[in-house]
C-alpha cells in the first residue's frame, strides 16, 4: 500500500470514528426527554433515533466543500490538519461524554481544525471574524432563543391544558414527543453525517481519487457515514442522556414536548436561513427554558452551569488537542508517518487507560477494621 493511500485510509477511518462519537454523544439531544417522560422505553428510543439518523443521512447531499468553511483558510487545509482536528474533536467528545456533559460535536471539530491550523500555518490562517460570526454568536443565540421559545411555549401549554384530565393530556404530549424527537433525529442525521461525508470527500479529492471540480460523493461514503452515526446513536451516550433527561430538570410530558418542539422549530428555522446552530445548544436551552418557566428553582443551575463551562471550553480544549496532535505528527516526520505514529501513541494510551480501569484497587496491608455502627445496641 502506497503512503498516500495509507494516509487516506487513516483519515477515512478517523472521520468515521468521529462520526460514531458524534452519534453517541448527540443521542441525548433526540431521546433524553422522551425517555425521561416515558414517552418511549430507552432501548426503543435509541433504536428509532438510530434508524432515523441513518435515513436522515440520505435525505440531502449538499456536502460542504470544506470543513470549518469561512473559519480557516480553505487552501491551507491538509489531510494532516484534518486528521489532527478529528482527533481533537474525538478526544473532547469522549471527555465530555465521560463527565455526562452535552457539548457540540461540530464546535469540537471546528476547534480541533482551528488548533491544528494555528500550529501548522500560524494565526494568519484562522479568520477571527468567521470564528465570531459562525461559532461564538450562534453559541450565544442558540440556547437563549430555545430557552425563550420553550419557556413561552410551556406557559401557553399549561394555560391551554391546565384544567383538563391529566391522563389523556400526558398521553397526547408523549405522542408529540415521539414525533418531534423523530424530526430531530432526521435533522441530526442530515446535518451531522454530512460533515463526515464532507471530510471523506475532501480526503478523496486530496488523494486524487475524485476530481477537484464538483466532486460527487460516492455511495459508499454516504452509506458508511450514515452507518457510523446510526451505530453511534444506537450505542446511546447514557451518561449524557441522564444529564439531559433528569439531572437538569425533572420534566413532565408537556415540558418534554416544549423542549423538543421548540428545538426542532429553531433548528429548522436556522437551517432554512443558513445560520449554523448547534443541536446540543438548542435542545439544552429548550430543556432549561421549559423547566425555568414552570419554576426557576426547578432547574439545577449547577448542572446547567457545568454545561455552559463545557461549551466555553469546547473550542480551546479541542483546539489544544488538535494543535498538540499536529505538532506530534509533524515532529514524527509529517506526511503519512506522523499520523501513523500518533495512532500508535493513541493505541498505547487507550490500552493503558483500559488496563488501569480493570486493575482492582490495592488491598490494604493491615488487618481489616470494622467501623462500629453507632446505632447498634448491645
Give the footprint of other proteins on this chain (CB under 8 A): 56, 59-60, 62, 129, 132-133, 137, 141, 145-146, 148-150, 152-154, 156-157, 160-161, 164-165, 168-169, 172-173, 176, 179, 183, 186-187, 190, 254, 257-258, 261-262, 264-266, 268-275, 277
Q: Which residues of 25-56 are buried (b: 16+ CB within 10 A; e: fewer)?
A: bbbbbbbbbbbbbebbebeebbbbbbbbbbbb
Rounded to the nearest whole angstrom, what is the least distance from the CB of residue 317 to other proteins in the complex? 24
CB of residue 312 vs other proteins: minimum separation in angstroms? 19
Instruction: Pick the closer one to other proteins by CB: 266 or 317.
Output: 266
Quick one: 251 or 321, whose CB is closer to other proteins? 251
**Of the candidates 178, 84, 115, 162, the residue with the CA atom closest to the CA atom of residue 313:** 115
Q: Kindly report the backbone phi and psi dihedral angles of residue 72, in degrees, each rounded to the nearest multiple of 5, phi listed first.
A: -125, 160
Nearer Cβ to other proteins (18/173): 173
Half-sphere exposure of 27 (CA within 13 A, CB side): 33
Q: 74 vs 141, which CB is nearer to other proteins?
A: 141
Residue 319 C-beta: closest distance to other proteins, Å: 21
Taking the C-alpha atoms of residue 291 and residue 175, their distance in angstroms, rounded to an integer, is 20
> The cell 480526503 sits on which residue?
203
Tell me if 360 sits within 8 A of 369, measured CB to CB: no
Q: Between 226 and 320, name the residue whose CB sits nearer to other proteins.
A: 226
Question: Which CB sits closer to other proteins, 145 or 229?
Answer: 145
The SS3 assignment for 126 reads: strand
**Cα(291)–Cα(244) distance, rounded to whole angstroms?**
12
Q: How far is the CB of 194 from other proteins (least distance, A)?
A: 10
Closest approach of other proteins to the CB of residue 107, in Å: 16
> What whole-number distance in Å separates Cα of residue 351 and Cα of residue 280?
30
CB 254 to other proteins: min, Å = 8
Amino acid at each position: 500500500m502506497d503512503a498516500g493511500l495509507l494516509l487516506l485510509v487513516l483519515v477515512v477511518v478517523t472521520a468515521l470514528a468521529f462520526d460514531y462519537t458524534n452519534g453517541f454523544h448527540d443521542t441525548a439531544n433526540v431521546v433524553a426527554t422522551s425517555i425521561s417522560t416515558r414517552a418511549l422505553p430507552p432501548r426503543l428510543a435509541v433504536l428509532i433515533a438510530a434508524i432515523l439518523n441513518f435515513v436522515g443521512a440520505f435525505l440531502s447531499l449538499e456536502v460542504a466543500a470544506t470543513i470549518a468553511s469561512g473559519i480557516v483558510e480553505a487552501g491551507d487545509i491538509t489531510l494532516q490538519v484534518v486528521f489532527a482536528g478529528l482527533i481533537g474533536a474525538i478526544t473532547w467528545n469522549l471527555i465530555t461524554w465521560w463527565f455526562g456533559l452535552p457539548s457540540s460535536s461540530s464546535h469540537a471539530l471546528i476547534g480541533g481544525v482551528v488548533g491544528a491550523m494555528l500550529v501548522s500555518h500560524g494565526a494568519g490562517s484562522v479568520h477571527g471574524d468567521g470564528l465570531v460570526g459562525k461559532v461564538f454568536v450562534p453559541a450565544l443565540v442558540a440556547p437563549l432563543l430555545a430557552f425563550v421559545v420553550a419557556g413561552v411555549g410551556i406557559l401557553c401549554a399549561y394555560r391551554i391544558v391546565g384544567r383538563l384530565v391529566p391522563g389523556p393530556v400526558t398521553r397526547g404530549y408523549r405522542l408529540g414527543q415521539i414525533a418531534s424527537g423523530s424530526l430531530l433525529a432526521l435533522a441530526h442525521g442530515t446535518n451531522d453525517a454530512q460533515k463526515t461525508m464532507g471530510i471523506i470527500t475532501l480526503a478523496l479529492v486530496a488523494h486524487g481519487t475524485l476530481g477537484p471540480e464538483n466532486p460527487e460523493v460516492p455511495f459508499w461514503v454516504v452509506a458508511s457515514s450514515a452507518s457510523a452515526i446510526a451505530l453511534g446513536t444506537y450505542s446511546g451516550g447514557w451518561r449524557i442522556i441522564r444529564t439531559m433527561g433528569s439531572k437538569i430538570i425533572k420534566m413532565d410530558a408537556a415540558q418534554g414536548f416544549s423542549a423538543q418542539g421548540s428545538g426542532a422549530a429553531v433548528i429548522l428555522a436556522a437551517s432554512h436561513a443558513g445560520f449554523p446552530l448547534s443541536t446540543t445548544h438548542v435542545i439544552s436551552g429548550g430543556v432549561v427554558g421549559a423547566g425555568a418557566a414552570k419554576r426557576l428553582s426547578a432547574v439545577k443551575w449547577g448542572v446547567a452551569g457545568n454545561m455552559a463551562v463545557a461549551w466555553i471550553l469546547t473550542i480551546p480544549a479541542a483546539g489544544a488537542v488538535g494543535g498538540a496532535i499536529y505538532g506530534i505528527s509533524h515532529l514524527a516526520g509529517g506526511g503519512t508517518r506522523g499520523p501513523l505514529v500518533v495512532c500508535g501513541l493513541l493505541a498505547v494510551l487507550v490500552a493503558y487507560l483500559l488496563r488501569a480501569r480493570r486493575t482492582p484497587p490495592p488491598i490494604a496491608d493491615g488487618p481489616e477494621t470494622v467501623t462500629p455502627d453507632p446505632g447498634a445496641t448491645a
